[in-house]
Structure 1
């Protein structure tokens, strides 16, 4: 993987998603470890706690992390686990994504790196401590701190307002089409992530074409 050198162009900012861009994410190990019934119960745990409105409240700071875990602990679908054990299982959903660290270091040669992620404090702290690729970033823009999910245009408008920068100074790399669409509406270029080879090629083409 490589990025061609661009001449006389001010350093722009890459907004990097975390999940399925820097690391792979799979909630099912958590669901199977927590559910009384590791099949149907795991699916119910996933629907209740790993997607949807309740999880969004966690990721926008409306619910405290241990309040969230306590709600899972009280659920009849869940085994009798301590909050400590639940926290460990909640964090046990990530794996390294091949090529991510190399790609981010290449990007840093010509760009500033800001991580922009829909996440919660438990996940982010774990990732920062266990995945060196996150420490390559210059800045972190996190949903639980700013109260907005990337599927909303407001998340990107808020970013521009608070940073004092223009939309054309940023490029978002994110695996979700709805997040890319929201960024584009706010005037920020986006690349829907499929692989690092593809993302770097798209970025080079965008920058070559201005």
Structure 2
């Protein structure tokens, strides 16, 4: 029996689209080179694992002066990347809480960037428990982050329903016995919550 619903944040509750900033100014090949070859994606993983936000971006820009202006956008225009909210998903979170079902966050997120995100979207303060990778020192899909959630919340894996938009994160949770839902749209999450009898159709609208 499900005792709590665990939400990823980026692309589940709030859109996370760095491409929104880079695509108007870089060709696709140049953007992919910046993210994958130069290592912008790896830099963000370091922030998600606990590295300081501003200092990490500044240091990375200094190491790659030819790309420094584009790298600094990660800090200077981060709020444009993390937007907008997904209203239906937030309604589902609130409907679950209204029914008395605990809702947790489990997200790869930097410590400082999550503080910023909370100020942007007050709904992110409404979780019963928040598991933020930058504060835990480990990122999904590492098994240790799921272990820490289990130890802290005191619920067995089978009592947790986890929704995330990345298949590798879902697979890692399922391997530990969590119930899972690969998020692709709030409507399909709503249908799953109805099927699990966690919400009525009216509550899930």
TM-score by length of 2: 0.81
The aligned counterpart of 2:9 is: 18
Unaligned runs of 5+ in 1: 1-8
> Pick from 138, 141, 146: which aligns with 2:136?
146
Q: Which string of whole-angstrom CA distances, capped at 9 and with x for unpartnered residues, describes residues 11-49 of structure 1?
A: 82111100110011111244368xxx7335433332245
Alignment of 1:53-202 (within 5 A): 54-61=43-50, 63-74=51-62, 75=64, 76-79=66-69, 87-94=75-82, 95-110=84-99, 111-202=101-192
Within 2, Cα distance between the matches of 1:180 and 1:25? 18
Closer, same or farther in 2 for the Cα pair 1:27/1:86, shift >3 Å? closer
How many aligned residue pairs are there?
A: 192
Identify the structure with the greater helix proportion: 2
Within 2, Cα distance between the matches of 1:96 and 1:204? 22
The aligned counterpart of 1:44 is: 33
Within 2, Cα distance between the matches of 1:30 and 1:121? 22
Contact kept? 1:22, 1:100, Cα under 8 Å? yes
TM-score by length of 1: 0.79
Within 1, Cα distance between the matches of 2:18 and 2:31? 10
Contact kept? 1:59, 1:143, Cα under 8 Å? yes
Unaligned runs of 5+ in 2: 199-205
Residue 88 of structure 1 and its aligned partner are, at CA, apart by 2.8
